[in-house]
Amino acid sequence: MSTKNVIELSNLTKTYQRGNASEVKAVDDVSLKVVDGEFLTILGPSGSGKTTLLNLIGGLDKPSEGTVILDGLDISKLTESELVKVRREKVGFVFQAFNLIPTFSALENVEAPLAPTKMPKNERIERSQELLWLMGLKQRADHLPAELSAGEQQRVAIARAFANKPTVLLLDEPTGNLDTKSGKKILELCHRASKEQGQTVVAVTHATYIRRYTDCLLFMRDGKLFSQIPQEEFEEAE
């Protein structure tokens, strides 16, 4: 089977200026290629730059230096409306803080990315229901986000990211609010999405049990990526 690079990062750097006193290099000279059907995980301590990196890959933030090529497109060369279209059609994002629409039910949140597509309404609802069912949320479809537990909100966010069958799934701490059993179920689904649908998955997390589901594990510290994982990362209970 031939593979293609779905994500190509070259010398990517993001520097935050904080007044003129200090600057933070949240992402520091990162180069990386991820192919179709690959499930990559980046482990790293709090503040190491994981969210910043995902935001750059998904075109939610602009790099200070370097380039992001997403499915063959240099995203820095796109207009804002082209970028919105690429994000909508190719990227499924699970935010660390979920970012669900508070006035939409769980079902409406999952359906939202399908609204701009040509899919008929009944199919959109059917697909959204199936995804909620897959996430173990069959009984919660008409709940508002505020009426859901944190772990349930996280699973709605994951269902929403899956809705459009995106080329790339970007998952920021996808199991952060889940017990280990639910977390493993979600990772199994991500693994299947990569292997059966050929979707490219990039997850950033503290959860070291993810290594059983992932093809490639990298480590981030102070904005830099490393292929060696420090042993102490695995010393916590799994």
Q: Which is nearer to ligand ATP, 12 or 132 (CB)?
A: 12
Please state, in angstroms and as integers, the Cα–Cα distance from residue 120 to each residue in 20, 133, 159, following that order: 53, 20, 19
Q: Is 81 in the site for ligand ATP (CB under 6 A)?
A: no
Query: What is the spatial distance between Cα 128 and Cα 108, in angstroms, rounded to a whole number?
Result: 8
Stretch that binds ligand ATP, among 44-52, 69-77, 97-105, 150-158 (CB under 6 A): 44-52
Residue nearest to Mg ion (CB): 51
> From the CB of 173, what's the least distance to Mg ion, in Å?
6
Task: Indicate which single residue of 2, 20, 22, 46 sits in contact with ligand ATP (rule: CB under 6 A).
Answer: 46
Q: Which is nearer to Mg ion, 42 or 132 (CB)?
A: 42
> From the CB of 109, what's the least distance to ligand ATP, in Å?
22
Q: Is 49 in the site for ligand ATP (CB under 6 A)?
A: yes
> From the CB of 47, what's the least distance to ligand ATP, in Å?
4
Write the DSSP string, 70-93: ETTEEGGGS-HHHHHHHHHHHEEE
Count other Cβ atoms within 10 Å, centred on residue 139.
9
Q: Is 119 in the site for ligand ATP (CB under 6 A)?
A: no
Count other Cβ atoms within 10 Å, centred on residue 190.
26
Contacting residues for 210 by C-beta, under 8 A, at least 6 apart? 41, 43, 175, 187, 203, 217
Provide the binding-site residues for ligand ATP, judged by CB under 6 A. 16, 18, 24, 26, 44, 46-52, 96
